Structure 1
Amino acid sequence: MKKKKLAVLFGGRSVEHEISVITALQLMNVIDVTQYEIIPVYIAQTGRWYVGDNLLFKSFYRRLPNSLKEAQEVALLPVAGSKGLTYLNSRRNDILPVDIYFLAFHGTFGEDGCIQGMLEMADATYTGCGVLPAALGMNKYQCKMMLKAAGIPVLPAALVDRRDAQKSLEAVREQILATPGLEQLPLFVKPCNLGSSIGIGVAKDERTLNACLVNTFRYDSHAIVEPCVKDILEVNVSVLEDDEITASVIEMPVSLSGVLTFEEKYLRDDGGKKTGGNESQGMASLSRIIDPQDLNPELKQAALDYAKKAFKVLGCAGVSRIDFIIDASCDQLYFNEINTLPGSLSFYLWVKSNPPLVYTELLNRIIRQAEKRQVTKLALKRQEGMRALFK
């Protein structure tokens, strides 16, 4: 059987760039090579696209930008029927054939619908969410409002535009503190369109609220402000699009500080027990409790049900991770955010589920569903003739 050419897209113009690289290296290491020929496609932080066998190794990225000389530059033309990537250093516009694009981005210009739009223009088969669910999932505020309308509980929130803060931080503070549910400090501040715990902060007073907003606006044009739940528990669920929507086992991430930071997620030194050394293994290396036995069974079931509902309401595809907050003082569950392209593709949750799903099979199912969606899209009627112009 002829192998399908699978282009794994990763990197990109995002502060989550290196986390995307880690996710891609992990999945390329376990792809079923009896079915797929792997084509690593690295998008540098400059926005340029590269291919080459050296992209399969972490050493390549440690030698950036000099190592880019060892790769070939390509581009995706948003032209229907292009059937692959175009070599930019070829006078003949040679094409690198691609059957399927596997997306492994995190953050802006990759997880947010931008790349998905290009792939739609090219009529390409790609994994994961389409343009709209990707964009909605990236925008934390709009996502919360949509799911709230669907009956999923969310915490109160205020959306702050950087332009308003530049005009008057005092007026912005008054707006935040006048929002129902946000009248009392401390408050939690984070970028509206970002992940990996980058740019987050806890505002304990007016001075630190100003500082948190300023820090967040270093990464995003909008900040989202929410209550800081004092007696907080975090639980996450991964959801997979298969023949029916399936939820994984629940995890409870462990934070030493009370708020999961970038360092805790990706840079924690575990003495080599999990990672085989001090190299980050992405979200797979985070300390967590899988299927916590002392968690209220009703809250567990609510998290599973709401996760699947959120996935469906947003129109997600592939695999996502839905994160919840529990206010332990009253056993109240709230939707926090969705990761439409979760770190490490949340494989660590599926291998612990019942029945377990190994990483390679998880990837196979994601790819199969992408192919099914493409068959449906290609069957849609796209032309209605040129009658109006000749009337």
Structure 2
Amino acid sequence: MPILLHLYKQRQTHTIPPLSFSHALHSLRHTNPHCSLTYLYDTLSTRFGCLRAGVGSPVLGTHLTRQVFGISTNEYVYERVQWRQSMQIYLLHIYFGSLENLTWNQKKAVLGSFFFYPKHFNITSLHLKMVLSGVKAVFFDLDNTLIDTAGASKKAIQEVINVLRYKHHYSKEDAIATCDHFQTKLLQESCDPASQMSIDELRVLHWEEAIQETRNTEPNRSLATECYSLWKSTRLDHMTLGEATRDLLTNLRKATRLLLLTNGERQVQREKIEACACQPYFDAIVVGGEHEEEKPALSIFQHCCSILGVRPEDCIMVGDNLDTDILGGLNAGLKATVWINKNMSMVKSPSPVPHYTIPSVLDLPAVLTSIDHKDSECRHSLND
């Protein structure tokens, strides 16, 4: 049963006193205007039994909750003790204008609440800036960090297999083999800036060669073009920025500057950026293929810092690739590197070693709140 519903029923049966948490706060402050935050904390903990003990469920006063969050008390649904605790602590500090005095564990609870319940609160940039005071910019990778490129590619390949089998009467084995040949060529792809061939023409050629290698036939440009068009359009259709990821970026941008740093050929990456519509969430977008060097080169990280007007030691890099995102961030002297490792249990000793390891970009808030309070030389996992 949601905690609020439980509270409502208790209040109706008069099993809890009518004095609300915020009323107690106002009352204590009025009767003892020079009392310390510690005194208030301890007194309210005793009164409501859950600021420190982690039990009980105080009612937050309608006036204060509406004033701070823009919503009424009955819109709250408290599902976790940590959520209740963090909101009470937060209200104390909002009331006294001293959010910066929170311990890092309390900041972690508060910030985590912001991101897990983004639609319920009107969070000002000031609140988050107090929490993330030491991080001036966050650099994000795109592929398999913010969007599921691998998953989109898998779906695109399956569509091509189906067309080859059911429209062009390939056997299942030949259809799969053709797609495997194409993906091998894609992994080995090298774009020569001096070449007159466009990326689209190059990838049509990949499909043409893959078809020839599988069936030992004459070049079939028409079929190769069909396969490429289907693969490309299907893949782009599935490159979406999830709602939770959009909320994460929206809230983060209230506190710090965001930059998208992605490797890859200019046209390919720009099409992905347009497909997932991520431009509005970033202060700047840097595509490696538009520069002389890509990640992990030091020059491109220096360029990113220059664009935002920040120092490397004030930035963090978030990405899924150890050899580009993490190595590049380490070599550039960034404040921290965060590795997105979806298979947390499969890599015991990653190299290079990131500062932090998390299974999803959605776990980033928990990391951000601890960065200012950990030695930058330490390496951490969300599961530590």
Structure index of larger Rg: 2
More helix by share: 2
TM range (shorter): under 0.3
- Report the TM-score, using the length of structure 1 for normalisation: 0.24
- Between Structure 1 and Structure 2, the one with more strand by share is 1
* TM-score (normalizing by structure 2): 0.25
